[in-house]
A and B are shown apart, each in its own frame.
Chain A
Amino acid sequence: MALDRSVVEKAAGLARIALTPEEVERFTGQLSVVLTAVERLKEVDTEKVSPTASVLPVSNVMREDEIRPGLSRDEALANAPKGGRDGEFFRVQAVLEDRP
């Protein structure tokens, strides 16, 4: 299927990836080729088939909810990006707007 640039731009937006115009151009062409190959799946009759999410013969693995040692606060914060740590916290930009 030939993709439109806008489809690539929309998916990149959903995936939160900034692309340059050249990347949009290049990926549109390359992904059109891949999607065309992938669309051959339509040929397979799957009317009475149920989907497989995992081949593992197990589900809902349970265990006792026991307290175990975890990471210390410093270990958990140690990889904070540059400018991303504020004492005991990760520093992030506001998610919600201030109330008027």
Chain B
Amino acid sequence: MRELPRSIREAAELLRTRKASALELAELALDRSHRDAHNAWLHLTDDHAREQARAADVQLRQGDAPLLAGIPWACKDIIGTKRIPTTAGSRILEGYVPPYSATVVERLDARGAVMIGKTNLDEFAMGSSNENSAFGPVKNPWRADRVPGGSSGGSAVAVAAGEVVFSLGTDTGGSIRQPAALTGVVGMKPTYGRVPRWGVVAFASSLDQVGPFANTVEDVAIVCEAIFGKDPNDATMVDMPSDDLRRDLDKGLKGMRLGVPKEYFSVKGMEPGVERAVRDALKVLEREGAKLEEVSLSLTDHGLAVYYIIQPAEASSNLARYDGVRYGLRVEGPDLIETYRRTRGKGFGPEVKRRMILGTYALSAGYYDAYYVKAQKVRTLIKDEYDRVFEKVDALVTPTSPTVAFPIGAKVNDPLSMYLNDIFTLPVNIAGLPGISVPCGLSEGLPVGLQIIANSYQEGTMFRVAAAYERATPHHLERPKEKAA
């Protein structure tokens, strides 16, 4: 065996028919990951992976192993892992070793999944290109001079390059869906409050969610089944059964009403090749029996402004904890304040500093009402607008990102143009909705993503649409031709 199975289902079949052992899959994943030429990994955890694989093999031999037993996966390095370094892509956390694991990691551990290592990301998940990592940019396996998207670029690439079967990322404004689109894999952000965030490094707490990357819609649903559900350690959750996630995968689109928000197609900077691929996808959905309806989300344009007040404001508060006292980097000065200033000045990269300054400014006396409260009010209006649209349609279909993967270095000194990459994904976080990106073809030889958005807690409906599209097209089978070094 030289290639990992594409899907959890294929891998589970190999494991159950004894055509492969969990240890063999782990060795293959480790071998491919060690030869990764894209800088997707920050730490590979060989011994830990082998230990988990051996345990999974025992479970498999006993015949009652969960579906995820023995499946190699990759963990974004912002998700805490017990006794395994967790850096959040930042110098300020270099060498930090969490004393406990995030709940999502514990849940995958309990199901016998095999973690291969920790993946590269934009520092503290702040970025759309992975160029903000303190440990160097991730390269896109489709073209080495292109970004993979961000912030979960390493997790996207590990799947796209066939180094693991699935991975976890986090999505605050598009950080799973946009890199999924740019690397040609499936990536999904759950409804706010469905996945525990205990043990995940906090970025913007009213927006952050953990979610999976995989090669198929079904795999994403399988991982969601494992990580969804209430955790006593996270008070920001809803108690909601998740037994419907795979129920409607095969139902098809007959009778479904899909909304096409016109504002998502009239954005400046949208590439014609992206629009063409997405329009073609709409035709496929119609052919499969869906009824398409043009809808209006008139505040789409204001999403960016709301997001770039609320998100830096929350981040500036969350990142106050990096003070050089209890963990991480400390750069000592003559007094405590100077120690704080030097530690944070040295430990944070430029994008994190920009957002700390912006967020602190938006929260400061005299500006709080004009920026932060105003943004929270427009947030209410954006949520209301989605609520009204979901009275008429079952799901929305849009492009995931206005462009294909752009050249490394192209936008790094122009924050606003970088932020515009997430114009179609960040309103979904503002409203707390679930969203998924699925591959819908190529433009200029690079992958394009189709985003499907559903109402809160309607992941089952969203997967139904995504799975029907996947069955009707071959796009999810396309893989980068570039070979690993």
Partners in one complex: yes
Given the complex of chains A and B, what is the CA–CA distance between A95 and B373 in angstroms?
A: 33
Flag if B99 contacts A46 (CB, 8 Å).
Answer: no
Residues in A whose Cβ lies below 8 Å from that of B96: 79
B356 at the interface (CB under 8 A from A): yes
Q: A56, A76, A94: which contacts B192 (Cβ < 8 A)?
A: A56
Once A and B bind, how many residue pairs between them come within 8 Å at the CB atom?
Answer: 174
Also in contact, A55 and B192, with CB within 8 A (given A37-B305, A71-B99, A90-B325): yes
Q: B238, B342, B377: which contacts A46 (Cβ < 8 A)?
A: B377
Q: Is the interface of B mostly helix, strand, loop or mixed?
A: helix
Flag if B309 contacts A38 (CB, 8 Å).
Answer: yes
Residues in B whose Cβ lies below 8 Å from that of A11: 357-358, 360-361, 364
User: Which of B252-260, B262-270, B288-296, B345-353 forms part of the interface with chain A?
Assistant: B345-353
What are the interface flags for A78-95 relative to B under an 8 Å C-beta threshold, 1 for contact and 0 otherwise?
Answer: 111111100000101111
Flag if A79 contacts B97 (CB, 8 Å).
Answer: yes
Residues in B whose Cβ lies below 8 Å from that of A30: 354, 413-415
Flag if B378 contacts A27 (CB, 8 Å).
Answer: no
Flag if B324 contacts A57 (CB, 8 Å).
Answer: no
What are the interface flags for B309-350 relative to A under an 8 Å C-beta threshold, 1 for contact and 0 otherwise?
Answer: 100000010001001111111101001110111101110101
Q: B206, B235, B374: which contacts A61 (Cβ < 8 A)?
A: B235
Residues in B whose Cβ lies below 8 Å from that of A38: 304-305, 308-309, 371
What is the CB-to-nearest-CB distance from B301 to chain A, in angstroms, rounded to a whole number?
A: 8
Residue of A whose beta carbon sits closest to that of B301: A40
Flag if A17 contacts B345 (CB, 8 Å).
Answer: yes
B28 at the interface (CB under 8 A from A): no
Residues in B whose Cβ lies below 8 Å from that of A15: 316, 344, 356-357, 359-360
Given the complex of chains A and B, what is the CA–CA distance between A12 and B305 in angstroms?
A: 21
Q: B336, B342, B416, B456: which contacts A18 (Cβ < 8 A)?
A: B342
What is the CB-to-nearest-CB distance from A48 to chain B, in angstroms, rounded to a whole number?
A: 10
Flag if A52 contacts B308 (CB, 8 Å).
Answer: no
B177 at the interface (CB under 8 A from A): no
Q: B305, B325, B345, B378: which contacts A84 (Cβ < 8 A)?
A: B325
Given the complex of chains A and B, what is the CA–CA distance between A8 and B383 in angstroms?
A: 32
Given the complex of chains A and B, what is the CA–CA distance between A63 and B419 in angstroms?
A: 40
Given the complex of chains A and B, what is the CA–CA distance between A8 and B371 in angstroms?
A: 16
Residues in A whose Cβ lies below 8 Å from that of B344: 15-18
What is the CB-to-nearest-CB distance from A44 to chain B, in angstroms, rounded to a whole number?
A: 5
What is the CB-to-nearest-CB distance from A70 to chain B, in angstroms, rounded to a whole number?
A: 10
A49 at the interface (CB under 8 A from B): yes
What are the interface flags for A10-38 relative to B under an 8 Å C-beta threshold, 1 for contact and 0 otherwise?
Answer: 11101111110001001100110111011
Given the complex of chains A and B, what is the CA–CA distance between A47 and B400 in angstroms?
A: 32
Flag if B326 contacts A80 (CB, 8 Å).
Answer: yes
What are the 10 tightest A-B residue pairs by CB atom distance, in nearest-first order?
A: A18-B345, A51-B376, A55-B432, A81-B330, A79-B327, A46-B377, A18-B341, A16-B340, A61-B235, A75-B99
Given contact pairs A42-B374, A95-B336, enumerate 11 new A-B contacts (beta carbons under 8 Å).
A12-B353, A14-B364, A15-B356, A23-B353, A30-B415, A34-B419, A41-B378, A44-B377, A51-B377, A83-B332, A84-B330
